[in-house]
Each structure stands twice: as structure tokens, then as C-alpha cells.
Amino acid sequence: MRILVANANTTEAITARCADAARAAAGAGTEIVPGTPRFGPAVISSGLENAIAAHGLLDLLAGHAGQVDAVVLAVSLDTALQAARQLMPCPVVGMTEAACLTACMLGNRFGLVTFGHTESYRQLIEGYGLSARLSGLVGVDSTPQRALTDPEGALRAVAEGVAELVAGGADSVVLGGAALAGMEPSLRQASPVPLLDGMICGVRMAEALVALAPPKPRHGPMAPVRGRESAGLSPALAALLRGGS
Amino acid sequence: MRILVANANTTEAITARCADAARAAAGAGTEIVPGTPRFGPAVISSGLENAIAAHGLLDLLAGHAGQVDAVVLAVSLDTALQAARQLMPCPVVGMTEAACLTACMLGNRFGLVTFGHTESYRQLIEGYGLSARLSGLVGVDSTPQRALTDPEGALRAVAEGVAELVAGGADSVVLGGAALAGMEPSLRQASPVPLLDGMICGVRMAEALVALAPPKPRHGPMAPVRGRESAGLSPALAALLRGGS
Amino acid sequence: MRILVANANTTEAITARCADAARAAAGAGTEIVPGTPRFGPAVISSGLENAIAAHGLLDLLAGHAGQVDAVVLAVSLDTALQAARQLMPCPVVGMTEAACLTACMLGNRFGLVTFGHTESYRQLIEGYGLSARLSGLVGVDSTPQRALTDPEGALRAVAEGVAELVAGGADSVVLGGAALAGMEPSLRQASPVPLLDGMICGVRMAEALVALAPPKPRHGPMAPVRGRESAGLSPALAALLRGGS
Amino acid sequence: MRILVANANTTEAITARCADAARAAAGAGTEIVPGTPRFGPAVISSGLENAIAAHGLLDLLAGHAGQVDAVVLAVSLDTALQAARQLMPCPVVGMTEAACLTACMLGNRFGLVTFGHTESYRQLIEGYGLSARLSGLVGVDSTPQRALTDPEGALRAVAEGVAELVAGGADSVVLGGAALAGMEPSLRQASPVPLLDGMICGVRMAEALVALAPPKPRHGPMAPVRGRESAGLSPALAALLRGGS
Amino acid sequence: MRILVANANTTEAITARCADAARAAAGAGTEIVPGTPRFGPAVISSGLENAIAAHGLLDLLAGHAGQVDAVVLAVSLDTALQAARQLMPCPVVGMTEAACLTACMLGNRFGLVTFGHTESYRQLIEGYGLSARLSGLVGVDSTPQRALTDPEGALRAVAEGVAELVAGGADSVVLGGAALAGMEPSLRQASPVPLLDGMICGVRMAEALVALAPPKPRHGPMAPVRGRESAGLSPALAALLRGGS
Amino acid sequence: MRILVANANTTEAITARCADAARAAAGAGTEIVPGTPRFGPAVISSGLENAIAAHGLLDLLAGHAGQVDAVVLAVSLDTALQAARQLMPCPVVGMTEAACLTACMLGNRFGLVTFGHTESYRQLIEGYGLSARLSGLVGVDSTPQRALTDPEGALRAVAEGVAELVAGGADSVVLGGAALAGMEPSLRQASPVPLLDGMICGVRMAEALVALAPPKPRHGPMAPVRGRESAGLSPALAALLRGGS
């Protein structure tokens, strides 16, 4: 099966790293197709950029509609997830969503650790209706940049965040954000609970959904639109809004 | 003061109608500036189109940053409201948000009536954290198109929806969606509770916020971004992401 | 228009100070009418006193029914707000309610800072169904009395409370309680987010509601009562319960 | 022990009926002391009247402070319950509160049936934080007046309401409102689940609390006030606000 | 009346201590019948053991069906409470449930203090739908074992936990867990709010329910089962599943 | 990999049918191991039986600990799910849990259709913290018995339930209960949204978890117990409580 690893940032290097992580996680017979939007923010770091990025992401997806078996959103805020589901004829999974739902199958409550602010993750998980399953959020006082120059210090800081979440009742911990991607193997030994990487969970959930082969909804908010006009959108996206194929 | 009435649909006729409603509601000394996005869906009728429309709306707003005193979003799903707040140096109000908050000042619970499906309004109000104030939603079995050909029938159907909501405990009723805009005067006589038109409430709330003159946040999710790179965005929007002026 | 600034404490000095604040905030053409109850607690400082004060406040309002265009409750616990709405033929706004709803239009979540205990504010905001919009409450370790003798220290303490709330995710901060009224100008420079004064927000919201001119509900919990007998109430209040005029 | 059955309506006949019901429910050795406020609404039928009645009720209670071992509020909206708790040195129980908490010990969810509107009960139970235990509310289309002229019809209507609630998942049903008081024996045979009468539950819960002998809180919202001034209140109530004994 | 004090642990000494506490709390004329399961965990200290213990507890109860007037579960996690209600023809009360509901009649919010982890109590209270009434949980850093060797230190630690909860808004505090049973008299003097012992509250609530004499539900989740087959259960339990008597 | 399909009913025929469904859903290389408890209810049809069945299920699991790679609970109420997670060294998935979490990846809200009462499913989903994702529950007026004698009528009834849920906003529908297992292929054509079978989802999720290979928690509610004594349990279960291997 072919899984599109769709970045919502326009930075190719992030896409490449996520695609590598996806390939490492994927089962035999799964082909990973990387995708980067043609326009939008270089690196999403605010709600404003996330709102702008939705268009670029959906434009990217429109170009792959019908050519992939599933999509994993390779962006930690799961940009435009429900809109992507409505747009595409195949399953779409968000990397943070996948990690949170996996966490729900490993215990009662989970925590989330990330670099910097936690507010956008709190809102995301609240939007998923999963607040009752969230034991807490920890924002490690670091940045993706510092993590590159001092990887040992970054690992130590994340491990402390994990320990704090476990003390607060977390049965597992979601690693939030691209900067923590790939840290799981280094942290596993020291962590008293499972750590969940969004790209790994995303690929596994996408494979499970492809195996289930759910039909495309014909009714309701996830059904395809049809006959909708637009202005200034790419031919691929405009065509999907018009539908009718 | 100058208030931008910002449509998120690319259909100029909707912008014009909303601007007219805004002018009728505005106080003396308020100038209404209509605005239509350069690109995006003609008429937002799904979550997918709403997600795409965010970019066009924010692009439109960026072109008016610093030149208006407030913005009223002239789109019933309040497209990209929090992102618009972060982007703009002035207050931004959503038309449905304004109607719901006004309703909160008129009693304990409010209802909402609209044409067609109610699910997107339920999600919007849930996202505003106002579900406890919502007594119910009624989707009248009609369409904006039919309302044009049979205005009497449409009014009757909406009045029945209002009555149903009042029986269910609504102290006021929000008229949801552009198709119900302007109906309030015709329905007022028969309605046992106040009916709230989003454009009218939006303009009044915007005027109140301009009078309060809240400073632009310098910290947190509503603070302006700075130094953010992007690709393929309009010069005005890209400049606001880079900040620094 | 005439706005009644209705205190629920029987201390005239508080009424006068609130009326001054209201006058400073009001638009041109708005006349502020101060009102103090004939009986009740001197200064409401507990739930018990607040429950007793409801009668005095409603008695005060009954004496102004039909003679004012709106009411702003000049008491930080918004004493008997929904009952006042049912009683009066005109809009009624609570000062803390107005500040909270205004805060909802400035960002996602707001904080509240006050002198002393925060529990009654937590309950008030929970009662408004706005808990999901509340990022936190800070009770500054001071009293209205100390604030009078050491105004500099009080300002410093409140500023620290604001900073704590902003660090916790507040996009704006409500100044809770009469003792913080009037502090906004002194704190504005140092605060990274907007600060909301209940009297200022209350007057602006009242003016907006008068402009909207919502009809008095004829049905449901906010509709006037009629034909109700009572004992020992003032003629004005008893007459409104009997209705029929 | 002496239990004050405190009405919040000023209609003596209601007090007498409630006192009779209390006496029938009370254990041996329990003396029922009936009490009616000196002023306030004759029969509380709206939120407005309920807010006014709080003062009269608290005034009534102040006159019995120290002379009774417990209080049962003989009013179905549990008027000013938390304020009464703060005022009195002895336990205070609301009749509807007692029925709801008893229902919590008989199964997972309970229903409530009453004459007329259900909205005030919904709010009351929501205020108690018990919404998750409430399966539903049924407002029988009758009035206390009609119940007097057609008692058979009233019983039939209530029985239908009970059946509807049981079908909706109720493990027990609270009989809401004074007009349903005393109906339990006539309905018991036909009802598939327990029916809970507020006066009976209230007296039993009051007796249990007296046996537990909880000390009066010395701190927090339920602690007595002290040194509070007031104007125009009865000597007994004013004295309790001043405290100091 | 006869009240079965039903332990869910298989340790007889715990049963004996709980029965003693129940006897001390019971009214004149109440006989306390102690009961210990024939099989199961010695001392429940995890969710796993609690799930296993349900069978032993229900087996114990089946042996007393029809021979007692009420049951108090003498286990702080209220093991299998709703199943016990469905099984037995008489009222069944959980000791922690009883303390929490009693707390609801003493103020707005209550806290809970226990030895060790608080997570299982948080889940229990959430399951009762009482989270909105819970001000906080404090897990004292001690164990039942240490409390036996250093009772003074244990009392001091619990008193500090109570003080912390009161500072956080608790109007009363539930003493959670068998290890705190019997501490109330020693802590009462120093505590500014009432302290609630589950066995005492449980017995009082059971007596109140027996006085109310609620009929056994004939419909819904609490109605007895009938005609159900099973394998390997004790004759008493199997007979109650088959019903038909 | 080896997946234990663990029934919580003691009826072998149900186990066999579930194991067949699991085999049909499983990937190549997955071996399905069926398991039936040695004691407990024949068919769980009430909360009481579900509480009793927990012991038998955990006893069954204890006998397979270390010999299987994952467990799928083949019982629609996901009996003792969290306890099973704590007991076993491998991942454990509930069939209804798996269907609900899969539904979360297919849209915003899901419905559930079952034969008979829906209350136990409502509680189950509420316990999972997923109420906000649940659009509604429909209990088809049929029984597993009637479904066997009139399969056409049963399919028609379920299809009507699905249609009702879709009209109410469901983006997918969970087929609740063993009696609906295997119906998905027959209903797929007519259903406008995906239908989710718990055994199929359970097997797919179990496979995904085995691929993720989460380490066993060493801390918190999901960590194994150690040193716990018990009486009358099977050697395998008692040994796991004692731990130490």
C-alpha cells in the first residue's frame, strides 16, 4: 500500500525526516510517499500559521487523491485533519491524533511532553474530546534549535518531563512535536511507561485503517462535496470541490 | 471609526448584502468597509470549504491591517476567527460569536435556527465553550435558494423553528447563516423572545470593543508573530508573518 | 439613554465611585443614574450576604422600572442577575459578566485577578457556563483596606497576579471586584495582555444592548410574571409581581 | 431532636402541609417545628420570586438559630440553600437536594417528574453538579390547581411521566414540587422503580446529619461571618451577620 | 434492623475493625453483621485486585440476601457497588459513596485525603458524577503500615493534608481508606471543617434508606435478573441469577 | 503473532464464533487462540453478570500470560479491560473500545446501534471519556434470538437504526454486541457511512499494538502488582498477584 506522508510546513527537510521515520515504522509492503505543500508557512509555530497552512496542505492532498491508499499528516497540530478526511477518498490520520488514540489503548490516562508551549496541544486534545483521558501536559524549557546543539541536554529535559507526567498519573506519554520525533529509542530504557511517537503511531494506524477498508461516507460532514464553485484555487483542488468524476 | 466587513466567501454579492446590513446597524460615525477574498470557495457549505477559506480570509485581512479599527467576519462559521485575532492589530469579531455572546446577556440559554444542517453550528458553539448556554438547534428544512423563491414559506418555517426552540427553553434565538440575515424585523412581531442577527450583533460588539480600545497582546497565543518565513503567500500576509515593522 | 448603575451593597460611597467610573466610560448622550438599595448588607463579602442582598437590589430596580433604558449591576458577584432580567423591561448587565464576555472576544481564554478568595468568582463563571474559557484565577494576598493605605504595593501585587495568569495561558485578564476598579490605566503599560474592568465593560455592553433594542420576552424564564401575590414587599416590587399594567 | 421545616413561600397552608408530611416521616423523638417567612412571595413560581424569597427565608432561619438541631427547606427549589448553611449553626438540607442524593444511592441515574416547566429543576440539579446522574426530566401538563380538582387525573398523568422516565433509563424518580408531595403511596404500586418525596428524604437526611454531628466549619465559604454591618434587616439577621457571640 | 458490613478483602481483621466502627456509629436497634468473602485478594491495593474482588464480594452478599435489611460495603473503593445493588433485594451503600454524598449536604465542595495514591479515588468520584463537587485530593506520603508504628506522625500528616484541602476550597474532607478509619475524633479538634468517615456515614445512610423502605426496582439496570445460567458459581449466587423465587 | 480472543461469557459457541471472525480479519502470520472462562455467567446480559464475569476472565487471561502477544476481549462490554491490562505483560484491547477509537479516526462523531437496551453502552463510552464523540445510540427492538429466526428482519431493523444515527450526525456507526457481529458485509451496501465491527477492529488494533511493541509500564496503575496475597484463587492468577518471577 502507498501512504502519503503529508507535511503542512513548506520546509522540505522536515518532510524528509518524517518520511524516514515513517519508512522505519511501516510494515513490509508499505510504500511511503513524501509530500510538501507548494505554499504556506516554513514552520508552523502559531495558530495563525496553522490556519494559513490548511490551504497548502489540502492543495497538496488534492494532487494525490486517488493515487495513495492513506494519508498521515506529518505535522504535530494535525492541521486541517477533518477537512482532509472530507477531501480525500482514502483514510487520513493525524500524527498526534494517532498517538493519543494509541495511548487510550495502553491505560486510563496519558500525558504529553513537548518543547515550549503546551496550549495548542491542550486545545487539540480538547477538540478531540479526549480531555478526560489527559493526565497533564509538560512543556520542556527548550527549543528545537537547542535540541540540535545539545541533544544530551534535550534528552535529559524530556526524560524529566516524562517523570513528572508519570508522577501525575500518566500510563503512557505522547511525544509532541517534530523535534521529539526519533527520541523514543533513547528514552525507552529510562521511562517507566510507554512513549508514543506520532509518526510511528500514525503509520501503524493508517495501515490498520487500510486493512479495514472503510467505505467513503456518502452522507454527512465527511461525504465528498459536489458542484461547489471556487476562485483562484489549483485545478486539482477546484476539481475535487466540483466533484462529479 | 472604520469597520471591515470581511467575507470569507469569494462571492461579491454576499459581501455587499452583509455590508448593507452592517451599515444599517452601525452607529453614526461608523464607516463600513466591505472586503471579499481574492481566492477560495464561492460559498462555504462544508467544513472542507471552511478550512480552505481561512487562507483567503487572512490574506484579505492582511491587506487591511492598520487601516481599519475593527473587523467583523461576515461568514456564519466565523472562519479562522482566532487566527484573524492574532493577525490583526485591531479587534476582530465573528458574526455568530457576537450573536451567541449577546444572547448570553439576555437570559440563561439560547437556541439557534438555520437552514439545513446544524452540526457545524453545534461544533462552533462547543468550540466557544458555550454548550451549557445552548438550549437547542433547529435546522429548518429549506435552502437559501428556496427562501428566495418562497420568502413567505421560509419565514413561516423559521418562525416554527423559533417556536420549537422557545418551547425547549430558549430565552433568545440566534438566526444562523447568511440566508436568515435581514429576517429579524419580519419575525419580531410573532416571536416571543428576542431574535439575534449576527451582522447586527457583530457591528455593535465591534463598536463596543473599539470604544474599550484594548491593547494588542504582547504575549501568548494572540500576540503577533515575528520573524516567520513562508513561501508563496501574498506580500501583505508574508510581511505580517515576518513582523518587525 | 439612561443607564441605572445599581449597587447591591447599601454603602453609598461604593455606588458613587461606580457611577463615576460608569460616567467616564459612557458614550456621549448616556446619562448614568446611580442607585443604592434601601436595606441589606453594607458590603457583600460572602455568599450569605449576597443571597440577602438580592431582595434589596430587586427592590431598588423595581423603583426604576420603566424609567431607565438599561441597568448595569455595580457589584462584582452580579447579584441576582437573572432575576433582575426577569423583573425589568429593559436590558440588565452584570459587571463581571460583561468583563468575561468581552474577554471571550479578545482571545481563547481569560484569567481573573482579585483581592482575597477566588472561590466565589470560580462559581460565578462556572454558573455562566464559561469554565472552558477560564485559564485561571489568582487571589492577591491583600484587602481593599490595605490597597487604600498602600496603593503602590497593591498595584505591584495585582501586576504580579496578571503576570502569573498570562504565563498560564490567559489572553486577557478580568479585574475582579470593586477594589480593583480604576486600576486598569495604571497597570496597562506593564501588562502584556488587555485588562478588563467590569464597570467599563458593563456600560459598553449596556449601550450595545440598548442599540439592539431586544424585545422583552413574552414566554419562558425571562418573561414578566403576572398575578403573583406577596406579603411585606415594597409597593413597587409587589406591583411588578402582580403585573397587569 | 428539633427539626425546623422552613417554608420559603409566605403561604401558611403550604407550611402546614409540609410539616404534616415531615411529622409522618420523622423518627420517634423528632419534633417538627414549622416556619413561614414574614415577607416575600405567596407561592414561588419563577426565578424572580425565588431570588426575592431568599431574604425572607434567611430572616426566618435567623429567628431559630440555636433553637433547632437541623433545618429542612420545605420549598422545591431549595431556596438559598448554601446561604442558609453558612447562616445556621446546625445542618440544613434542601428537600429536592435530599431526594436527588438519596436517588444516587438507589442506582446510577434518576429522573424527575413535576407539574409544568422543568427548566428550574434542570438548573438546580446542574448547580448540584449532578447532571451526569440525571436521566431526564418530565413536566406533566397539569397544574397544582387542576391536581386538586381532578386528583385521579393528576395521579394518572404523573404515573405516565414516571413510566416515560423509566423507559429512558431512570433507576428511581424524584417527585418534584410541593404539588406532588404525598403522592408516593398512591403511585408506589404502579411504579417499577422507587419514587422519592423531597420532604420524606429531607427529614431522613436531616436526622442522619444530626446523628453525625458535624462541627460548624471555622474556615471557608460555610464558616460564619463576623463583624458585617447591614441596614434595614431584622435584629436577628443583623445580629448573626455581626456575629461575636 | 440488621446491616451487613461486607468487606471485599479476605482479611478478617479488617472486617472486624470495620464492624466495630459500624457498631459505634449505629443507632439503637441496629444489629451489625460482619461478612468476609471466601476468596479473593487479601487486601485490595490496585484496580486489578478490585476487579477480582467483585466476584468474592457478590458471592458473600448472595449468602445474605433476604436475611439483612441493608448492606454497607466496608471497602474504600466501593467494590462492585452497582452490581451489588442489582443483586440484593435491600439497599446497598458504599462507604466512600456515603461520605461523598454526606459531604454534598455540608457545603459546596469537598476534599479527600488518603494514604498514598489518589488516582483510584479520583476515578471513583468521577464515576459517581461528583467531580464538580470535588475541590481536590491529597495523598499523604505514608502507608497503613507506617501509620501503625507512628500513629502520631500519621495523624500529623493527615492534619496537614486536611489543611491543604481547606486552603483549596474544601467545605468538608472525606477520610479515604480503611487506614484513616477511626481517626476522626483525634483530628476533629484541629480541623476547621467537618471530617467524614466512610463507615460512620455508610451506616447512617443505610439506616436512613431502610427507614425510607424503597421498593426493589422491577425494571431497568437495578431490577433483579431472572433465568440467567452460569457455570462454577456458588449455589447461592447461581440461584440469584436464575431468580424465580 | 498469537492473539488470544478471550470471551468473558462461559458459552463456548460464542467464543468459537468470535474466533472465526477474528481469523477472518487477522493479517497473514497472526494465529488466533480462542479462550473461554472456566466459571461465570453463560451470557452476560446485565451489569451484575458483567461484574461477576471479571474474575473468570482474569483467571482465563492469567493462564495465557507470557504465551500470547496480545489479547482481544471478545465481549461487547469490554469486561474488566483496565484490570486485564494491568494483569497481562502484553497489549489488551476491548472489542467495543477498538471500534470506538477506530470511529474517531473516520470523522468527528460516531453512533452505536445494538439489540435492546443502550444504557450499558452509554456508560461504557462515557467511561472511555468519549461522550463528546458519540452522536447517539439506537437500541433496535429485537433480540439475538429473534435475529437467528428472522435474519432478514434483523438486518432491516439494524439498517433503519443506522439510518437514524446518520440523520443524527454520525460519521460512522459501531455495531454493538455479539449479535451484530458479522452483519457488516450485508449492511455495507446500504449504509451511507462506515460500519465498525468490534472483533475486526479489535484484531487490527491488537496487531498494530504488537507492531509498536510498547514496554510494560513499571510504574502507575498499569504496572504489575507484586507481593500481593490472596485466598481461593487459581494458582495462575494467585501467582501473578504475588509476582516476582
Average pLDDT over residues B40-64: 97
- Which portions of chain E are predicted below pLDDT 50? none
pLDDT computed for residue A23 by the predictor: 97
Q: Do F221 and E82 touch (CB under 8 A)?
A: no
Q: How confident is the model at residue C99 (pLDDT cuts 50, 70, 90)?
A: very high
Residues of F in contact with B122 (CB under 8 A): 169
Same domain, D82 and D158: no
pLDDT at C181: 82
The residue out of C163, C178, C197 marking a domain boundary is C197
Residue B77: pLDDT band with limits 50, 70, 90: very high
Q: A119 CA to chain C: closest CA distance, Å?
A: 7
Q: DSSP H helical segments within E88-230, as ranges?
A: 95-104, 119-127, 144-149, 151-167, 184-188, 198-212
Return the closest-CA partner of residue D202 out of E211, E110, E82.
Answer: E211
Beta-carbon separation of D106 and E214 below 8 A? yes
Burial class (CB in 10 A: 0-12, 13-18, 19+), D28: exposed
- Is residue E53 within 8 A of residue E9, CB to CB? The reply is yes
Q: What is the pLDDT of residue A177?
A: 86
> What's the alpha-carbon Rg for chain F, to the nearest Å?
18
For A66-91, how does the pLDDT look when each residue is reduced to its tens digit (9 = 90+)? 999 999 999 999 999 999 999 999 99
Q: Do F49 and E82 touch (CB under 8 A)?
A: no
Residue of D nearest to F131 (CA): D132
> How far apart are the C-alpha atoms of A225 and A222, rounded to whole Å?
9
Q: Which residues of D touch F46 (CB under 8 A)?
A: none
Nearest residue on chain C to D237, judged by CA atoms? C52
Q: What cell does A55 get?
A: 490551504
What total of structural domains would you count in chain F?
Answer: 2
Which residue among C39, C48, C237 places its CB closest to the CB of D231? C39
| Residue D217 is assigned to a structural domain of this protein | yes
Best of F108, F131, F193 to mutate (most B CBs within 10 Å, chain B): F108
The secondary element (H helix, E strand) that includes residue A20 is helix A12-25
Distance of alpha carbon B118 from the chain centroid:
16
Residues E68, E25 share a domain:
yes
Q: What is the DSSP letter of F189?
A: T
Q: Are residues B112 and B180 in the same domain?
A: yes
Nearest chain E residue (CA) to A109 = E119
Instruction: Tell me what percent of chain A is helix, strand and coil, each rounded to the nearest 5.
Output: 45, 15, 35
Residues of F in contact with B119 (CB under 8 A): 169
Residues of chain B in contact with residue C128, where contact means CB-CB under 8 angstroms, are 104, 133
Q: How remote is the C-alpha of E229 from its chain's centroid? A: 30
pLDDT at D108: 96
Dihedral angle at the C-alpha atoms of E17, E19, E22, E26, nearest 10 degrees?
-140
User: E with B: 3 or more CB pairs under 8 Å?
Assistant: no
The model's pLDDT over A193-244, given as tens digits with 9 standing for 90+, comes to 999 999 999 999 999 999 999 999 999 999 999 999 999 999 999 999 999 6
Residue C58 sits in the same domain as residue C85:
yes
Closest in F42, F127, F233 to E231, CB measured: F42
Concatenating the DSSP letter of every residue in A51-104 gives: HHHHHHHHHHHHTTTTT-SEEEE-STT-TTHHHHHHH-SS-EEEHHHHHHHHHH
Q: What local confidence, expressed as pLDDT, does residue C163 receive?
A: 97
Give Cβ neighbours of residue A51 (< 8 Å, ≥ 6 apart): B54, B55, B58, B80, B82, B83
A52 chain-B contacts, CB cut-off 8 A? 54-55, 58, 83, 230, 233, 237
Q: What is the CB neighbour count within 10 angstroms for residue B126? A: 16
* D117 lies in the same domain as D184: yes
Examine the domain organization and report whether C28 and C145 are in the same domain.
no
Residues of C whose CB is below 8 A from E169: 119, 122
- Amino acid letter at A192? P
C-alpha cell at A189: 530504557
Does an interface of 3+ CB pairs under 8 Å exist between A and D? no
Give per-residue pLDDT as tens, A152-200: 999 999 999 999 999 999 999 999 987 888 899 999 999 999 999 999 9
For residue A132, the chain E residues in CB contact (below 8 A) are 126
Which residue in B49, B78, F201 sits closest to A86, CA to CA? Answer: B49
Name the DSSP class of F147.
H
The most confident of the ranges C20-34, E136-150, F136-150 is C20-34
Collapse the DSSP code of E230 into the 3-class scheme (helix H, G, I; strand E, B; otherwise coil) and give the result.
Answer: strand
pTM: 0.96
Q: Which chains have 3 or more CB–CB distances shorter than 8 Å to chain F?
A: A, B, D, E
Neighbours of chain C (3+ CB pairs under 8 A): A, B, D, E
Distance (Å, whole) CA D93 – CA D83: 12
Contacts 24+ apart (CB under 8 A), C150-158: C154/C115, C154/C183, C155/C183, C155/C186, C155/C187, C158/C113, C158/C183, C158/C187
**Is residue F90 helix, strand or coil?**
coil
- DSSP assignment of A157-176, as one string? HHHHHHHHHHHTT-SEEEE-
- Chain B nearest CA to D138, separation (Å): 12
The reply to whether D173 and D235 lie within a common domain is no
Chains E and D touch (3+ CB pairs under 8 A): yes
Residue D70 pairs in a beta bridge with D3
- pLDDT one-digit tens code per residue, F152-177: 999 999 999 999 999 999 999 999 98
Nearest CA in chain C to E133: C123
Question: Which residue in chain D has the smallest CA separation from F116?
Answer: D167
State whether B171 and C215 contact (CB < 8 Å). Answer: no
Q: Which chains touch A (3 or more CB pairs under 8 A)?
A: B, C, E, F
Domain residues for the domain of A165 are 97-197
- Residue B73 bridge partners (DSSP): B6, B94
Bin C116: left if φ > 0, else alpha if -120 < ψ < 50, else beta: left
Q: Do A169 and E119 count as a contact with CB atoms less than 8 A apart?
A: yes
- Assigned domain for D102 exists: no
Neighbours of chain B (3+ CB pairs under 8 A): A, C, D, F
One domain, residues E154 and E170: yes
Using the predicted structure, report yes or no on whether residue D148 has a pLDDT greater than 90: no
Q: How far is E119 from chain A (nearest CA, A)?
A: 7
Residue D106 · residue E222 · CB < 8 Å: yes
Chain E's closest residue to F59, CA to CA, is E52
Among candidate residues A161, A177, A197, the one where a domain is terminated: A197
For residue D128, give how far its alpha carbon lies from the nearest alpha carbon of chain B (Å).
15
Do D193 and D238 lie in one domain? The reply is no
Determine, for residues D217 and E130 on separate chains, whether the beta-carbon distance falls below 8 Å.
Answer: no
- Which residue in the block uniquely carries the three cell numbers 433547529? B138
Q: List beta partners, residue C110.
A: C134, C172
CA dist., res. E42 & res. C83, Å (int): 57
CA nearest A122 in C: which residue?
Answer: C169
Total residues belonging to chain E: 245
The amino acid at residue A3 is I
Q: Which pLDDT belongs to residue E115?
A: 92
Residue A132, pLDDT > 60, answer yes
Query: Looking at beta carbons, which residues of chain D come within 8 Å of B108?
Result: 123
Examine the domain organization and report whether D35 and D77 are in the same domain: yes
Cα distances (Å, whole numbers) of residue E164 to B133, C106, D130, E169? 34, 35, 26, 9
Pair (D86, D124) in one structural domain: no
Domain of C177: which CATH number?
A: 3.40.50.12500
Whole-angstrom distance, CA of residue A194 vs CA of residue F211: 13
3-state secondary structure of F244: coil
Contacts of residue C132 in chain A, CB cutoff 8 Å?
126
Which of A109-113, A145-149, C46-50, D42-46 is predicted least confidently?
A: A145-149
Reported as half-sphere exposure (CB side, CA atoms, 13 A), residue E228 has a value of 27
Which CA distances in Å does C158 have to C76, C119, D229? 17, 17, 28
Q: Which residues of C touch A (CB under 8 A)?
A: 108, 132, 169
Cell of A120: 495548542
Chains D and C touch (3+ CB pairs under 8 A): yes
Helix residue ranges, H only, chain F: 12-25, 47-62, 81-87, 95-104, 119-127, 144-149, 151-167, 184-188, 198-212, 235-242
Compute the distance between CA of residue A161 and CA of residue E21 in angstroms, rounded to an integer.
44
Q: pLDDT value at position A55? A: 98
What is the secondary structure of chain D as a DSSP string?
Answer: -EEEEE-SSS-HHHHHHHHHHHHHHSPTTPEEEEE--SSEESS--SHHHHHHHHHHHHHHHHTTTTT-SEEEE-STT-TTHHHHHHH-SS-EEEHHHHHHHHHHTSSS-EEEEEES--HHHHHHHHHTT-GGGEEEEEEES--HHHHHH-HHHHHHHHHHHHHHHHHTT-SEEEE-SGGGTT-HHHHHTT-SS-EEEHHHHHHHHHHHHHHH-PPPPSSSTTSPP-S--EES--HHHHHHHH---
Interface test with D, best of F119, F122, F141 (most D CBs within 10 A): F119
Q: Find chain D residues with C-beta within 8 A of B132's C-beta.
A: 126
CA–CA dist D85, D72 (Å, integer): 11
**Residue F145's pLDDT band (cuts 50, 70, 90):** confident
In one letter, which amino acid is F100?
Answer: C
Cross-chain residue pair D220–E106, CB shorter than 8 Å: no
HEC string for chain C: CEEEEECCCCCHHHHHHHHHHHHHHCCCCCEEEEECCCCEECCCCCHHHHHHHHHHHHHHHHCCCCCCCEEEECCCCCCCHHHHHHHCCCCEEEHHHHHHHHHHCCCCCEEEEEECCCHHHHHHHHHCCCHHHEEEEEEECCCHHHHHHCHHHHHHHHHHHHHHHHHCCCCEEEECCHHHCCCHHHHHCCCCCCEEEHHHHHHHHHHHHHHHCCCCCCCCCCCCCCCCCEECCCHHHHHHHHCCC
DSSP state of A190: T
Of C115, C211, C205, C210, the residue nearest C157 (C-alpha): C115
Question: What confidence tens digit (pLDDT) does each residue in F67-102 have?
Answer: 999 999 999 999 999 999 999 999 999 999 999 999
* CA–CA separation, B196 and D111 (whole Å): 34
Chain D residues with CB under 8 Å of E218 CB are 192-193
Nearest C-alpha of chain D: how many angstroms from B111?
Answer: 14
Q: What integer pLDDT is reported at residue A232 of this predicted model?
A: 97
Of the candidates B222, A131, B68, D147, the residue with the CA atom closest to the CA atom of residue C107: B222
Is F101 within a domain? no
pLDDT by residue (tens digit) across F104-142? 999 999 999 999 889 999 999 999 999 999 999 999 987
Chains in contact with chain D (at least 3 beta-carbon pairs closer than 8 A): B, C, E, F
Helices (H), chain B: 12-25, 47-62, 81-87, 95-104, 119-127, 144-149, 151-167, 184-188, 198-212, 235-242
Q: Which of E47, E127, E225 sits opposite F49 (nearest CB)?
A: E225
User: Mean per-residue pLDDT for F31-47?
Assistant: 97
CA F193 to chain centre: 21
Residue A204: list chain F partners with CB under 8 A.
208, 211-212
Q: Is residue C200 scored above 80 in pLDDT?
A: yes
pLDDT of D244 higher than 70: no
Tell me which of D46, D48, D60, D225 to substitute to probe the interface with C (most C C-beta atoms closer than 10 Å): D48
pLDDT digits (tens, 9 = 90+) for B146-174: 777 888 999 999 999 999 999 999 999 99
* Same domain as C190, residue C178: yes
